[in-house]
Structure formats: structure tokens, C-alpha cells
Amino acid sequence: MRTRNGARRSKAQWVGVAALAAALWLWVWSARPPEAPEPARAAPKASAPEAPPSARRAASAAAASTRAPEEDPAPLIDEIEVEKPEVCAGEENLITVRAHTTNGTDEYLHSVIGTRAGSRVPLRIWPDMDGSYEMPTISVFGRNNVVRQIEVPRYKVNDCKPERIVVITHRLLPSTPGDYELTAQIVDVGVKDEPDTRPFKPASYAWVFDDGGSEKTKAPFVTHSYERRPQTALVSEFLVRVEVKSEAGEKLAGRALLQIPNMMFQDLAERGIVTIGATPTPRFPKQDGDGVVRQAFRLWHHRDAPVRIDTVTAVRHYAGASDASPRENASLGVVEIPPGQGVDVEVRLDTVREPDVFTITYFVEGETAEGNAARGTFSLMKPPPAPTKESSIPVTEPVFLAKIKRARELLAQEFVTDEDIRRLEREGKMADLDVSPPRAKAP
């Protein structure tokens, strides 16, 4: 048991320990760094006016397109079809490749077979002098140009030649969104080694355009519009065919794959914008006698519902000036563009009132029924002045001069262009020209 003196000592010890602990706590607390004051809250910003839905959607699509794209897997090749097991050197053999993607992006598929773009290519192989030849490579591209490659299945190329082949070339006509000129050229191959072979004199050309259209011509060329092709994939492909019939009833055939990029598809898929097309009529502007340039444009689109026009602005470009005028409001007299053939508008430039203006560019903006932004642009240009003796360089080359004279006679035009002469040449209307120099008079 404890005595009273021991209890007092124990109580004194506890008081000392408590005092020491309190002093230690005060020292630690005083050593802490002072807390930073709470930052003042910023005043709320005034809300900006809300952008229209179509503009927000277009901005969102544009922002999404700037993000680093995810890695797309390479396409898978399902089948390669070879039309013939063996051919002669230079003979067509249609190669068809079929493929698919594993992430649902088949609309981005596009192919190259050898050096020709397309998934259905009439391939020609020309062996080397020793008879050897290599099979071309097939490249199938997907979105972001990921690629899968494979060699064309080997087929036999015999040591023989076709007498003649038909080569189809194409070009996009200037100032058009989708009008192509197709030309058929007959090339002698095997007949070069047989000079006694009867000549082939073309009498008619039967064209098939692979879009449901066809046409017969007497000339070796034709013009066809692919303007309204579907915009559902990155590219559209058309296997064009022509059958040439001679005066003696003989027939030759040729094919060519026409691959056309679809920019309207890209605008909608990657930017969320519906493109408004503009087709001029005529293709090149003409100035009237009163100094006014008038030209009609057909505005159209690929959607199934009308496109509303919200704003139309115009910019004037001046001759000899680097800067254009600021955008100013304009009117085309229409408030919407219906689906299908679209709507025609006419614009004009008065060169008497505005002699320094050489181009007026129109910007059309609107919205589709689905809420997508719709945009388009087209330009009215002042045509160059008619040539005169003072402003032109005289033609002295006798062949070219004879062609100009013949073209003026056939077309009943005071002025003819290089395109006019080229067209008449392909029609064979320049073949009988006598371009020999005139004989010197006898003394």
C-alpha cells in the first residue's frame, strides 16, 4: 500500500509530464509554415451568344478530324479474280480484287493494280525480249491509307500479239465538276509484222459508261457526265467499254477503269459539311455587246431533302491588285436548293460600271434538314478580250494556219480555240488538208 508522501510525489510527476507535453505541442505548432490565403474567386464571365446548331456540329467534326486518328487495321483481301488463264502479249486481262475492312470502314477502300488505280483493271503485260515477265502488285488501301499488298495471281502470257488493240484515255473537261471526255485510239501491234494485213477503217464506236448510260458515235471520242455519281464512298469506279466497228464489219473492243475521287463524301464524313455544287452554263462566260458578262449556274447537292440558304456573300477581285474587296452581302434570288437537279441562278458583271473587276466569287452558306452545315462557292469571271491584229502574234506555221482556216469554215466562227481544232482533228476533218507549200511561179 502507498503512503501519503508517495502519492504527492506521483501527482507532482504527472503534472510535470503534462506541462512538458504542452510546451512541446506549442513549439511544433509554432514551427508550421503559415497557410496561404484562399485565392479570390473570379467573377463569372458573361455568356457568349450561342452558335447555331449547324456551326457547332461543323466545329465539332473539324475538331474531331484534328485529333490523332486511331490506328486502322489493314484491309483483308477476300478474292482476286483473273478473267483469262492465258493471253497474248499486250492483250487485256481483267483483274478484279475484292476486299473488306474489319472495323466497318469499307467506304474508304481503294486499290491500285500494277500502275493503274482501281479494283477492276484491264491489265496488259508486255514480256521482256527473253520472254520473261513479272506479275504486278495489288495494293488495297483503307482509311488513313493503311495498305495490304499481294501479287497478281500468275497467268500465262504467250509469245503472240493481237493484231490491234484499243486504248481508252480520259480527261476531265475544264470548268466542269464531272464531265469527262473519253477517246478511243486504235494501236497497231501484230500487224506491224504483217504489212499485207487489210487496214482497219473505223465506222462507228459503241460506248458503255458503266453507270447505266451508253452512246454510239462516228467519231473516236465522246463526252459523258459523271457529275451526279453517288457520294457514298471515297472513290467511285466506272469500267468504261468501247466496241469499234470497221467499214468491213470487223470489231475491236477496249476497256479502261475510270476512278474518280469523291470530295463531297470527304467533306461530309470528315468535316460534317454538305457541299453545294455549282455547274456553269455555258462552261465559259461570254460578254454581251453591252459589256455585261452573264452566266447561269445550277446549284445542287446530294442530300434527299432541300437545303436552306441562310447567307450569300460576294468578293470582288480587281485586275492588278493583290487585295480583294471585303465580303459583302449578295442575293441569288433563291431561299433553298431542292434535291435532285437543284436550282438555276444567274449572275452578272457589268464591265462598263466596274471595269477593274475581273472576278466575282460567291459564297453560299446554309443548313440541311438534318442540321448539317451546307457550303458552296463559285466564280463569275470576265472573259479575255477578243484577239485583234494589234494584240495577237500572227500564225506563220503552214500546218497550223491551214487547220485554223479549216476550223473557221467548218464551225462558221470568226475565232476558234485549240480545243475546237483538237476536236475536229479527232473527228478526222483535218486529215485531207493540203499543207504543201505553194509552187513557185515559172519565170
- pLDDT score at 386: 76
**Backbone phi, psi, residue 184, to 5°:** -105, 125
The answer to whether 279 and 381 are in contact (CB under 8 A) is no
C-alpha cell at position 290: 453591252
The answer to whether 253 and 242 are in contact (CB under 8 A) is yes
The answer to whether 183 and 426 are in contact (CB under 8 A) is yes
Closest residue by Cα to residue 225 from 255, 201, 260, 250: 260
Closest residue by Cα to residue 263 from 300, 298, 231: 231
DSSP label at residue 396: -
- pLDDT score at 46: 41
DSSP label at residue 266: H
Please give the C-alpha separations between residue 377 and each of 283, 293, 314, 342, in angstroms, as whole numbers. 16, 18, 9, 15
C-alpha cell at position 352: 462598263
The answer to whether 164 and 91 are in contact (CB under 8 A) is no
As to burial, measured by CB atoms within 10 angstroms (0-12 exposed, 13-18 middle, 19+ buried), residue 300 is buried
- Cis status of the peptide bond prior to 280, with omega within 30 of 0: no
The answer to whether 118 and 111 are in contact (CB under 8 A) is yes
- pLDDT score at 430: 86
- pLDDT score at 428: 80
- pLDDT score at 431: 80
What pLDDT tens digit does each residue of the chain (443 aa) get?
333 334 334 444 444 444 444 443 444 344 444 444 444 444 444 444 455 555 555 555 555 555 555 789 999 999 999 999 999 999 999 999 999 999 999 999 999 999 999 999 999 999 999 999 999 999 999 999 999 999 999 999 999 999 999 999 999 999 999 999 999 999 999 887 777 788 899 999 999 999 999 999 999 999 999 999 999 999 999 999 999 999 999 999 999 999 999 999 999 999 999 999 999 999 889 898 899 999 999 999 999 999 999 999 999 999 888 888 899 999 999 999 999 999 999 999 999 999 999 999 999 999 999 999 999 999 999 998 877 777 788 888 888 989 999 999 988 988 888 888 988 887 788 888 866 655 555 55
- pLDDT score at 30: 42
- pLDDT score at 394: 84
DSSP label at residue 97: E
The answer to whether 379 and 362 are in contact (CB under 8 A) is yes
Bridge partners of 433, per DSSP, are none
- pLDDT score at 441: 55
Helix (H) or strand (E) holding 256: strand 251-261
Please give the C-alpha separations between residue 168 and each of 171, 182, 187, 321, in angstroms, as whole numbers. 10, 7, 11, 44
- pLDDT score at 3: 35
* Nearest-angstrom CA–CA distance, 107 and 100: 9
Torsion, Cα 363 367 372 376, to 10 degrees, reads -20
Helix (H) or strand (E) holding 380: strand 373-381
Instruction: Domains for the chain: give ranges and CATH numbers.
Output: 51-160 (2.60.40.10), 162-270 (2.60.40.10), 272-381 (2.60.40), 386-428 (no CATH)
Residue entry with cell 501484230: 190
